[in-house]
Amino acid sequence: MYRPVAKIPDFPAVEHRILQFWKEIGAFEKLQAKNAGRPRWCFLDGPITANNPMGVHHAWGRTLKDAFQRYHAMNGRELRFQNGFDCQGLWVEVEVEKTLGLGSKKDIAAYGIDRFVRDCKERVLTFAARIVEQSIRLGYWCAWDDPETLLALRDALHNDDAEIEARSPSGKVFKDKASALIGRLGSADFGGSYFTFSDENNYTIWKFLKKCHDEGFIYRGHDVMPWCGRCSTGLSQMEVAEGRRIVTHLAAFVRFPVRGQQNTALLVWTTTPWTLTSNVAVAVNPEMRYLKVRHRDWVYYVGKENFERERIQDLQAEGKHETRKLPSIGTLLKGSGNVEILEELSGRDLVGVAYQGPFDELPAQNRPGGLFPFGPTGDGKTAVESHRVIAWPEVSGTEGTGLVHIAPGCGAEDEQLGVENHLPSIAPLDDQAVFIDGFGSITGRPATGVAEHIVAELRKANLLVSTEPYPHVYPHCWRCKEELVFRPVDEWFIRMTWRDRIQRVVPEIRWIPQDGEAREQDWLRNMGDWMISKKRFWGLALPIWVCRSCDHFMVIGGREELQQKAVSGWNEFEGHTPHRPWVDKVKIACERCGGEAGRVEDVGNPWLDAGIVALSTMRFNTDRKYWEQWFPADLVIECFPGQFRNWFYALLAMSVMMVNEKPFKTLLGHALVRDARGDEMHKSKGNAIAFDEAAEVFGAEVMRYIYVAQNPTQNLNFPDLHPKADSGPRLDAEVRRKLLTLWNCYSFFVTYAAADEWQWSRRAAAAAPSELDRWILSRLQRLVETAHSAFNDYALHRLMEYLEQFEEEFSNWYLRRSRRRFWGPYGPDKEAAYQTLYTVLTTVIRTIAPVLPFLTEEIYQNLVRSTDSAAPESIHLNDFPQVDAAAIDVALERNIETVIRLKNLALNLRTESRIKIKQPLSRLIVKPRDAYERNVLEQREYVEQILEEVNVKELSLIEDESALVRLRLKPDWKKLGPRAGKDMKALAAAIAQGDVREFQKAIADRGLHEISLPGGTFELQKDDVIIDLEGPENLKALMDSGTFVALDTALTPQLISEGIAREFNRFVQDQRKALDLAVTDRITVQYIAPPAIVDAVTAHDDYLRGELLAKKIEPVASLGNGFKVKLAGHEVAVSIQRTDP
């Protein structure tokens, strides 16, 4: 029989109990077996980085992934249920370096690349195991690896790559060296999550790169690229976009003296003073106007617009949008002396002007051909010989001085200008962003720490004009957070001249949000070539072998090809995964000259790892038929802001190159999780929230509700775990309240069904369903209909919105109006009520099971399995409800909607009049808005429902409200004032003269009402106008969408007496609950009260005894135990005792 239901569920405790239950019965495995061989639905997981435990921001996407997969499984679809782990790349390296206390690439090399790569694998396995545990805690169903097995593999790897026996998620037992088994994780025979460090993933990327090379798209490029000195690696365009931050740097205004013109200089400005050491030229816009101005002892050339215009910085990064104002150049100069404009000229007139550089004494400035790692530049000239003004149309009048200092070795655009103008290039930094030899006192110092020193040197040389703290958006390493510099690099690229192929498949995909397609296309149009190399250690070993004799390079497409072409080193590599340093041992013969070729030391861009998974995880290389059955995926889900230029792009590019098809049909990109105040979460800010703590404080089910109820296109502000007392409304508390509504309906059923020993399996013949039953069953079908629509449209927030509406109707209308049916003796109508209530509850929990798996399982086990052992063991092994169109009654739904609407309007008037609902009133007056509403109100059963709900004795229908009240339109000045401006007085007068019915009809028909004013037509919306009703003091009235409702608040002695009796009933009912009496328990009531209260209670004795299940209600002179209450201004003492039936 049914277990008693707790008043308030302990969500974490329920969840732990359900998790253990699922494990014991093998619920997930049974679901897989149930759907095996049935129509397929494919979800492709974006891999979570196995580098740290989950935070609450990870759980949003994982909840959505789980919900959609559960839904399709309950609809009988076979799924792959494969999670993914991102394993390789800089983010793992950085954390391992911290753990080992290593500070540079040299430290890693000294430690040993083999040991370092092993440590990286071990870290991945550690946190993969942790994330598996956390995902299971969230209720996320997947074909998970056993965390203990992952940790055992880690330990065996650490123990000299020992042999180990491991049971895989596929059920097979494998025995091999730990590294060999680790390389097979996620494979077809091993099963479980895919790991991007697996052999299959790496070799499939090799195949992709081989195809790119065959089509002529792989090349080695020398370019000035963003570089992280801390990590000693370049960053791709995608990665730079992820690390942009708003920072303030020391900016310098510097004079570059013009040769041949005494005390005349180019006024130059820079936010990176370190680059001044490598200055070669100054750029001007030949089409801009420039000024020649005198300031104190010097004459400067400066852009006219820059000189006059106040500088406004519109800064956007990290989800922040800030505006900063800075003075114009003219204002800045005037602050330190008078300024006189001498001349205006064109930028073209300045081109060719020679000048003296700020650091011409440095050896690097005087080296012929510059100082460039890839050979001489600038036709063999020195930088000092090359100092001149060059033309560059990109120079702006809104930033700086209009004269841009150019250092070709320190910036990508600078480098391009240097090539175009045959300028020498000076590259001052090594791979740790430290100045190399040739730079005097700053040699050996990091570029990001010399700004103050540079400024001091400029001041000493009388070249410094001014400095300022300058806020701007600057790129940082997206992993270690250090500021980037620019330096020449030798990297490997994919030439993206074939981007049009990708652009062709983008429109074939459904993008959510809709603007995702446009954003992806914009990225594809404007992106540069794809930098695929990293000068690091842990990651995809780029399959590029370069001949040491002729410099020809070859791309290897897989393990078999490498073995065939190997001329040495294969035996050392055999038995290892394709990672450094083992794969570096293999040498091959050059296909051009026959010389020996070795692999480049670079590892791959990590987005290659994740981008290939639409092929590698679906057996593209080993079982093409299987791949064809599952490709393209039906859905991918990830955070859109972070992935449209990363994972989504990589998936598209790699799929199109390999098979010229889209890799997925629908993309759902959710927004960002922020803290309760809307700020981005960061560990460094102290506002990041760990998943584990949130799950134990809120409960995973509360978290899941928060996630699925959120519109995925809008940022989610996650509530504080331990808010301050005065922090205001809390999202988690509101969610618990909503969940409690369903819980209370379930508890109501269990309470009465247990008392009557009613079970669905033993249900009897029932009376025909009442109109109330038919209505809630019709609304139930609407819920099921909405659920299917929401799941298939990937808009679960719409389901949750409708669920909340349904629960309100179910709890506050159906159950409340049905409760007396459960109080009386058993009969056909009570049977019908039980059957309806049971049907609604069991259908609702099956409908929301994919999004709230724990609570629905808890309810299902008690409602269904406790009385029917033949039912599926778990709610998740049930079929998802299907819409029963025959049960939908459109007319009935509309009728009840009208009744509820009028009830709510009347209750609004009660609230306005401050008269409690327990106090009966005499009359409700209604003028219906249309014939349909009048027809409803002419049916006695509907009128009685309204009167009962609002506690009024009579409802009167009228044709015209003008005999009762006067209606006037009044403007809402706060809303209209800002829009109407100077026309507000005229608008207010026109509104006051308007006709209420005409206004309401226009609003109902078109959503707006137009008013003619002398200056033109003004459009009014519904909330712009207040409908004021003037009438007798006892009449509270309102007008809503054409319906007039008035409430007579005058109280007679009879009404007051009845109100006292109803309040007495409420007080005693509360005491019954406090004493934890069963709903069927009979009682006697004794009380002490003044005569007015006794008279009221006595007059309503029959009503009260029926409501309270009281055998007797009697006034007495004295009481023993009892409770005291205030009733109608009097103190009343009451005692209740349980008695025999």
Strands (E), 476-602: 485-494, 510-512, 530-531, 533-534, 544-547, 553-555, 566-568, 587-589, 596-599
* Cβ-proximal residues to 24 (8 Å cutoff; 6+ apart), any chain: none
Question: What SS3 string covers 628-690?
Answer: HHHCCEEEEEEEHHHHCCCHHHHHHHHHHHHHCCCCEEEEEEECCEECCCCCECCHHHCCCCE
* CA nearest neighbour of 829 among 745, 772, 900, 747: 772
Helix (H, G, I), strand (E, B) or coil at 795: coil
Q: What are the CA-CA distances from residue 362 to residues 280, 440, 449, 582, 941 (Å)?
A: 13, 6, 19, 44, 98
**For residue 1040, is it within any domain?**
no
Angle among Cα 274, 276, 277 to the nearest 5 degrees reads: 80
**Whether the bond into 632 is cis, omega within 30 of 0:** yes
- Tell whether 548 and 412 lie within a shared domain: no
Amino acid at 900: I
- Tell whether 454 and 497 lie within a shared domain: no
- Tell whether 1000 and 1091 lie within a shared domain: no
Tell me the chain's radius of gyration from C-alpha atoms. Answer: 38
**For residue 710, is it within any domain?**
no
DSSP 8-state secondary structure symbol assigned to residue 812 = I
* CA nearest neighbour of 600 among 538, 650, 555, 549: 555
Question: What SS3 string covers 456-510?
Answer: HHHHHCCCEEEEEEEEEEEEECCCCCCECEEEEEEEEEECCCCHHHHHHHHHHCE
- Tell whether 759 and 874 lie within a shared domain: yes
* Cβ-proximal residues to 551 (8 Å cutoff; 6+ apart), any chain: none
CATH of the domain at 582: 3.40.50.620
- pTM, two decimal places: 0.85
Q: What are the CA-CA distances from residue 25 to residues 223, 855, 872, 877 (Å)?
A: 59, 18, 11, 12
- Tell whether 276 and 374 lie within a shared domain: yes
Report the number of distinct structural domains present in the chain.
5
**For residue 1096, is it within any domain?**
yes
CATH of the domain at 277: 3.90.740.10
Helix (H) or strand (E) holding 975: helix 973-980
SS3 content of the chain, % helix, strand, coil (to 5): 45, 20, 35
Q: Which tokens in the block code for residue 322?
A: 């800030």
- Tell whether 494 and 361 lie within a shared domain: no
Alpha helices for 660-770 (secondary structure H): 691-697, 700-709, 731-756
Q: Which tokens in the block code for residue 543?
A: 């399959």
953, 923 Cβ separation under 8 angstroms: yes
* CA nearest neighbour of 272 among 476, 466, 451: 451
- Tell whether 1024 and 980 lie within a shared domain: yes
Cβ burial of 922 (10 Å; 0-12, 13-18, 19+) is middle
**Whether the bond into 581 is cis, omega within 30 of 0:** yes
Alpha-carbon span 200 to 183, nearest angstrom: 8
CATH of the domain at 808: 1.10.730.10
Last residue of a domain, one of 475, 508, 538: 475
User: Whats the size of the chain, residue-wise?
Assistant: 1141
- Tell whether 248 and 319 lie within a shared domain: yes
Residue 106 has, within 13 A of its CA and on its CB side, a CA count of 4
Strands 289-295, 320-326: parallel, antiparallel or unpaired by DSSP? unpaired
Which residue range(s) make up the domain with 1110?
Answer: 1053-1139
- Tell whether 254 and 278 lie within a shared domain: yes
pLDDT per residue over 233-279, tens digit each? 888 776 777 788 889 999 999 999 999 999 999 999 999 999 999 99
**For residue 990, is it within any domain?**
yes
Alpha-carbon span 412 to 410, nearest angstrom: 7
CATH of the domain at 990: 3.30.720.200
How confident is the model at residue 222, as a pLDDT? Answer: 84
Alpha-carbon span 257 to 27, nearest angstrom: 80
Alpha-carbon span 36 to 42, nearest angstrom: 13
Last residue of a domain, one of 605, 627, 661: 605
Cβ burial of 490 (10 Å; 0-12, 13-18, 19+) is middle
- Tell whether 973 and 845 lie within a shared domain: no
Alpha-carbon span 708 to 811, nearest angstrom: 22
Query: Residues 518-527: contacts with CB within 8 Å, 24+ apart?
Result: 519/644, 520/644, 520/648, 520/649, 520/652, 523/644, 523/645, 523/649, 524/499, 524/649, 525/499, 527/237, 527/238, 527/496, 527/499, 527/645, 527/649
- Tell whether 597 and 526 lie within a shared domain: yes
Residue 637 has, within 13 A of its CA and on its CB side, a CA count of 22
Give the residues of the chain that fall short of pLDDT 70.
238, 642
**For residue 98, is it within any domain?**
no
* CA nearest neighbour of 120 among 788, 450, 519, 603: 603
Q: Which tokens in the block code for residue 929?
A: 């808005």
Q: How far apart are the first and last CA of the chain?
A: 24
**For residue 512, is it within any domain?**
yes
* CA nearest neighbour of 543 among 601, 607, 620: 601
Last residue of a domain, one of 584, 605, 626: 605
**For residue 267, is it within any domain?**
yes
Residue 126 has, within 13 A of its CA and on its CB side, a CA count of 15
**For residue 770, is it within any domain?**
yes
- Tell whether 386 and 269 lie within a shared domain: yes
Alpha-carbon span 538 to 781, nearest angstrom: 54
